[in-house]
Amino acid sequence: MATVAATFEPACAIAAVTHSLNSKKNLSLFNTHTGEHLDVCYCQDGVYRSGALKKIKHILRDHRTGDIKAIDTRVLEILYTLSRRLDTPGPFHIISGYRSPATNAALHRKSNGVATHSFHTKGMAIDFRVPDCKTNTVHATAVNLRAGGVGYYPKSDFVHVDCGPVRYW
C-alpha cells in the first residue's frame, strides 16, 4: 500500500460545479488597493497547490497593516464557482480579503456595516466586484449557490461572500 507524503495539500472541495480529477481550477484576482494582479491555478487534479495558496493569501492580505492570514479554501471554491456560473474568467476586483482584528475594529467604529466579529478576520470572507458584470447579477448568482453568507452593497458596488452559515443581507 502506498503512502502519501505529508507535504501534499488536502483534496479540493467539491464545488457546485463538478469537475473531473484531471482538471485545473484557476482564479484571477486584482487587489483594488495595491494594484496587484494574480492569475493562478490553485487546485490541480483534485489537490490544492500550496504555492498558489501562498500567493493568494499574499494578494488578499490586510492592505492597511500588511498582515497575512491563510484564506479558507471554501471561499476560493465559492469564487471559482461564481466565475463559472457568471461565465467570466475574472478578474475578481478585491475590495477586502483578510482584515486584521485591529483593522476590523477601526472600520467597525466608522461604520455599522462592519461586523464586530467579521469573517474577514478569520480569512473566511471576500468583498469584490466583477468588471463587466452587474453587481445585482453577481449578488443573485452568489445567493443561488447557497454556499455561505452573501451581502449586497449596491451603493458601494460590491458583493460580500463568506463560507460561514448560509444567510443574506
pLDDT at 129: 97
Mean of all residue pLDDT scores within the chain: 88
Which tens digit of pLDDT belongs to each residue from 106-139?
988 888 778 888 999 999 999 999 998 999 999 9
Residue 107 and residue 155: Cα distance in Å, rounded?
17
pLDDT at 22: 63
Closest by CA position to 94, among listed 68, 122, 140, 131: 131
Cell (9 digits) for 13: 472541495
- Residue ranges and CATH numbers for the domains of the chain are 24-168 (3.30.1380.10)
Which tens digit of pLDDT belongs to each residue from 49-82?
999 999 999 999 999 999 999 999 999 999 999 9
Residue 169 and residue 160: Cα distance in Å, rounded?
10
What is the percent of the chain where pLDDT is above 90?
78
Is the pLDDT confidence value at 142 over 70?
yes
Which tens digit of pLDDT belongs to each residue from 91-102?
999 999 999 999
